[in-house]
Amino acid sequence: MSGTVTIYSAEGNPFPSSRITLARDETRHLDIRSLIPSEESAHTLGGIAIEFTGQSMGIAAQVTISGFHGFGNIDAPVFGDMMYKSNDADAVWWEPKGADSHLILGNSSADPVHAQITFASGEVGEVDLAPHATIVQYVPHAHQADEAPGHALNSIHVVGTGMPGTLRVTGWVSSVKDGYLDTIRSYDPASSTESAVYANGLHFSDCANHLVIKNLTANPIIVSGAIYPIGIKASAKALPIPEKSLPPGASSELQIPAAGDSESLDGAAIKLESSGSIASIIASYSNHDPANQITRSVPFKDVGDLSTLTGAYPWRLDGNYSSKIFVTNVGKSRASIGAKILPVSGPEYFIDTKYLEVGETAVFDIRKLRDEQVPDPKGVKLPKDVQLGQFVWNTIFGNGKDKLIGRNEVVDRSSGISASFSCPYCNCPYSTSSASINPFTPVVVINGVASIVATAGTSDPCGRGSPGGYTITPSSWSIYTAGYFSLSSNQPTSTMQGMANGNSSFYTPFNGILYAFDGYSSCFVYSQPTLNPGGTGCSGTSILGINPSQGMVGQTLTGVMISGCGFSTTKTNNTIQVGQSGQGISAMVTSVSTDGTTLTTSINIMPTASPGTYPVTVTVTKPDGSKITSTDVVYFNVTAPTATVAQRTSGQVSSDDAALSAYRSAEGTTTLGAIIGTGPVPGCFVGNEVVGTIAPSNYTGTVIMHRLITMDATYTNYTQIAGVTNEDDTSAPALRDDNPQSGGSAGKVYDLDAPGLSPQQVDTNTYRYRGNFYGYAALPNGTRISPYYGYYVRVSCRKTASGFQFINDVPNDNQIGPGTTPISWNAQ
Amino acid sequence: MRGIRISALVFGLLALCGLGAAGQECESLQGATSQELTSYLNKIAPDRNNAECVTRAINVLASERYEPAITALAKLLDFRRPPIGREKEGLYLHAQGLWEIYPAVNALSLIGEAALPKMLDVIKNDTRSATKRENAVFVWMQVHRNDAPLGVALLKKESDRTDEAAVRQRLNWAISQALNWCNPSEETRCRAAAAKGPS
């Protein structure tokens, strides 16, 4: 992704822009001074803007001004205007005696902005900001001192004109004498979504700590809270913060509860709740280490927005820097997170599921992971020399109600730099969109055990890559058919123990969650699909399935896979039975997998087998000669091919009809239709070829074309001599071609016929035949596989001294065609 | 017109006489086993009176594909069945090939490969009936219907290895007959097989 970085002077004049291109997930440190021409370096710098085309928060940045006053640094995030809901800002901070505070007000827009600043001293300042201009404003000391003697609080309330987000407010409080420098962090009250604020990664040891709050409302409020030490496993262990009443608009310092050894609180998280409404409080926590002149300030967050369920932080390990990421569950129920570390060089480092109890904080010390070469679950280690990268964390498996806060603390003890990075990454957490278990088909011997791990797959609503395979700790397992095996729960790895021969499906209740980005600044939960990862456990000797599970009559299937467990690895010790003996289906094992879970077989379905379902069993002969036969309900389906029927009544017999020569010998011709046959029995005949087209066309089994006389009649002149109804008239094999592949037929079978008359003597009689037939295709066992094809035949013949003659004294006589004919002498 | 009617009546009476005798004989074969039917055919000398009965016995053995009857059926390869049913009125619902006219031909064709040695024996050694030999060739080629050139080639092979001139002559005649049972699509290969034998 590419972007344009523009630095503005304090007056709002842009310096020439710089183009930067960042690889996917790349983190880069830019020296702001290097972005402006050397001849312009005398200017006082003001703001910075990054323009890019792409997804919201596709590029995020943070500015750190280090070496401020020679010992400290201040930091400010670079957000888009859309991250703000208003142009107002509030801030409260600890202001040590002798310290001075300054606000930095910036205009991010191309229009003038006016800001009205209400100071804690009661004074009101009016500031006009030219487009893109930046102004530093001294903050007068507050009149009302805090209860703590010798120290003070300060605060501001700023109201700006212009579009939301165009007025940026930050600042610093410093005391050169004490080596104190802290960032003044302002908050947009309109962005608040709840009456509580949170922070984590707090430091307590060897320092002076101050937790200050301000009531933003016109009503008195009571503020309470708790501190959650790192590693806390139950909310009961949280340290309560004594309640404090605050008059309208007042600021105050809160008493931090004693915890014995203050080091035990290092890295702790904090939650402050107001009795007032949403956006009723803001807070600030500062921690000053005078020996090292380090002031650690921690941003407080409102976690009502789902964007707080994810974070992406740049980290650095160059020099003496360290980077620690703190993620705290500040919600009311257990939560879980997953993460990845993206070093600038080297593969992605995967951090598997970390469950966090209420109040629990997970700490990820990047330097420690690197220096101690701690491998991730996939064996990946951070490169020993890596110095820069990103840390990305996400809530996973949540329900949209989780509350988490994360922060990356970058510290350089030698230079006294402490900065806090808490940029939202895109602003939607990963969706949990799939879940599965590994192995999908765990196998155990009876009384044996196997391990199962359930994992979830994620997808990123913001369109970036998301790691998959987060381990799920199942709360319980549901086994469809009990008695074959048991499963343990509440551990990342579950244990399956075999109890009896058989198999069953199983799953653990588990819901996914799908987030969507609103395309502007928020994300929302739009679905919580039931994922229930599970599989099928196989215990002892058992059949799980057969694939393919069906074949056609007359087919021989090779490579049929029978999956299951407990098969003998000696091929000949496995016997497969499909149906019962004599039903025309035989199976032979051709190979077996080395783990005894798959039999490769050949199944022969005789042409005489009937379509239907047949049970499949495997009998395993054990080394001691004993046998065990599977009892699972697994079926093999025998199907019949299908056929369509057509009739040819003109032209020549099909060249791929194997009965052609027989027809030729019988009729002395291969012509179809009304013919004078000259074979062994000459006469007037109507040759026809009924064609059965088989699907699938590569079917190799036998298909027989059958024929039935539904009704017919023979006449001498006008007198009926005989007639039959519903009489089978199937041709002899010589006139049929029952092989769908003979002669390259590609799925065609044939039946040749030539009904007709052969008057035995020369006379003047007209001998007539009227018949209705239907033909159909059937398997050798009689199973019909085609629709009926109905047709009629009409013939009138006379034997004369010169031979046989068709007589056409009746219209449309001596014809064959689809449908039926009246069987009266005149076909009327 | 009248004369013709009388003639037909006389023929009908004669037929009824024959049926009477055949009917009695056939009744005795009702429910007979294939073995008994085979035994019957072995002993019978077909004539006008027993023709229908012989036909029925052959057809039963055909439907059973009863291989032990091969010799008996081979003996009857030239037995021509009488008209049945409406054939007597000149109605033929099926094309009348050898398999229709000679019931043993149909039976041996249905029995299939097991009948081949006997058919070869007839082809080579039957000197009394050309019809038998012709029908044996048909059975031979019917069994090889899905690979007619092979049927021809095997006859050629048999011819080539026969020292006896008369037998070879009959085999060569059989080969020429067999070519008639090759479909047009196979004719070239059949002729090649007739010239060269099996490839």
Reported ipTM: the value is: 0.84
Chain A residues in contact with B184 by the CB 8 A cut-off are 655, 660
What span, in angstroms and rounded, lies between the C-alpha atoms of A790 and A818? 6
Helix axes B165-178, B116-125, angle to 10 degrees: 120
**pLDDT of amino acid A519:** 66
Number of C-alpha atoms within 13 angstroms, CB side, residue B125?
8
B182 touches chain A (CB under 8 A): yes
Cβ contact, residue pair B97, A734, below 8 Å:
yes
CA distance A823 to chain B (A): 15
**pLDDT of amino acid B8:** 32
Residue of A655, A687, A757 lying closest to B183 (CB–CB): A655
Residues A581-596 have a mean pLDDT of 94
Which of B91, B138, B143 is the best mutation test for A, with the most CBs of A within 10 A?
A: B91
pLDDT higher than 80, residue A371? yes
pLDDT confidence band for A463 (50 / 70 / 90)? confident
**pLDDT of amino acid A128:** 95
- Please write the tens of the pLDDT for every residue from A785-822: 999 999 999 999 999 999 999 999 999 999 999 999 99
pLDDT higher than 80, residue A297? no
How many C-beta atoms lie closer than 10 Å to residue A184's C-beta?
Answer: 25
pLDDT confidence band for A25 (50 / 70 / 90)? low
Which of B93, B99, B144, B185 is the best mutation test for A, with the most CBs of A within 10 A?
A: B93
Residue of B85, B110, B183 lying closest to A733 (CB–CB): B110
Q: Which residue has the tokens 């990268």?
A: A389
pLDDT higher than 80, residue A207? no
DSSP string over A538-593: EESSEEEEEES-EEETT-EEEEEEEEEE---SSGGGEEEEES-TTSSEEEEEEEE-
**pLDDT of amino acid B29:** 84
**pLDDT of amino acid A62:** 76
**pLDDT of amino acid A341:** 93
Residues B62-69 have a mean pLDDT of 96
pLDDT higher than 80, residue A20? yes
- Please write the tens of the pLDDT for every residue from A219-265: 999 999 988 887 655 444 778 888 999 999 888 888 887 765 666 77
Judge contact between A552 and A456, C-beta under 8 A. Answer: no
pLDDT higher than 80, residue A742? yes
**pLDDT of amino acid A425:** 43
Chain B residue nearest residue A799, CA to CA: B90
Residue of A679, A757, A763 lying closest to B4 (CB–CB): A763
What span, in angstroms and rounded, lies between the C-alpha atoms of A553 and A704? 13
CA distance B148 to chain A (A): 9
CA distance A768 to chain B (A): 9
B89 touches chain A (CB under 8 A): yes
**Average pLDDT value for chain A:** 88
**pLDDT of amino acid A144:** 59
**pLDDT of amino acid A414:** 56
Chain A residues in contact with B110 by the CB 8 A cut-off are 733
B6 touches chain A (CB under 8 A): no
**pLDDT of amino acid A19:** 85
pLDDT higher than 60, residue A413? no
Chain A residues in contact with B96 by the CB 8 A cut-off are 666, 677, 679-681, 758
Chain B residues in contact with A656 by the CB 8 A cut-off are 183, 185
Which of A608, A660, A661 is the best mutation test for B, with the most CBs of B within 10 A?
A: A661
Residue of B89, B93, B95 lying closest to A667 (CB–CB): B95
**pLDDT of amino acid B9:** 33
pLDDT confidence band for B2 (50 / 70 / 90)? very low
CA distance B106 to chain A (A): 8
pTM of the model: 0.61
**pLDDT of amino acid A110:** 87
Q: Considering only CA atoms, which of A528, A516, A459 is closest in space to residue A56?
A: A516
Cβ contact, residue pair A662, B86, below 8 Å:
no
- Please write the tens of the pLDDT for every residue from B159-169: 999 999 999 99
Chain B residue nearest residue A767, CA to CA: B90
**pLDDT of amino acid B20:** 41
More confident residue, A178 or A91: A91
pLDDT higher than 70, residue A419? no
CA dist A691 → A647, A662, A678, A706, A745 (Å): 6, 16, 24, 11, 11
Residues A309-333 have a mean pLDDT of 85
Residue A664 corresponds to which tokens in the numbers above?
């030729």
Could you give the percent of chain B with pLDDT greater than 70? 87
How many C-beta atoms lie closer than 10 Å to residue A356's C-beta?
Answer: 22
pLDDT higher than 70, residue B13? no
Residue of B85, B92, B180 lying closest to A681 (CB–CB): B92
How many C-beta atoms lie closer than 10 Å to residue A582's C-beta?
Answer: 7
**pLDDT of amino acid A98:** 85
Residue B75 φ then ψ, to 5°: -65, -25
**pLDDT of amino acid B192:** 95
Residue of B4, B89, B95 lying closest to A666 (CB–CB): B95
**pLDDT of amino acid A426:** 52
- Please write the tens of the pLDDT for every residue from B98-149: 999 999 999 999 999 999 999 999 999 998 999 999 999 999 999 999 899 9
pLDDT higher than 80, residue B45? yes
CA distance A672 to chain B (A): 12
- Chains A–B, number of C-beta pairs less than 8 Å apart: 123
pLDDT higher than 80, residue A631? yes
Chain A residues in contact with B180 by the CB 8 A cut-off are 661, 664-665
Q: What is the largest CA-CA distance in chain A?
A: 145
Residues A389-398 have a mean pLDDT of 86
Cβ contact, residue pair A661, B185, below 8 Å:
no
Rg (CA), chain B: 19
Cβ contact, residue pair A743, B106, below 8 Å:
no
**pLDDT of amino acid A151:** 57
**Average pLDDT value for chain B:** 86
**pLDDT of amino acid B6:** 32
Chain B residues in contact with A657 by the CB 8 A cut-off are 183
**pLDDT of amino acid A236:** 44
Residues A8-26 have a mean pLDDT of 84
- Please write the tens of the pLDDT for every residue from A511-544: 999 988 776 667 788 899 999 999 999 999 999 9
> Which region among A38-52, A505-519, A608-622 has the lowest average model confidence (pLDDT)?
A38-52
Could you give the percent of chain A with pLDDT greater than 90? 56
Residues A734-744 have a mean pLDDT of 92
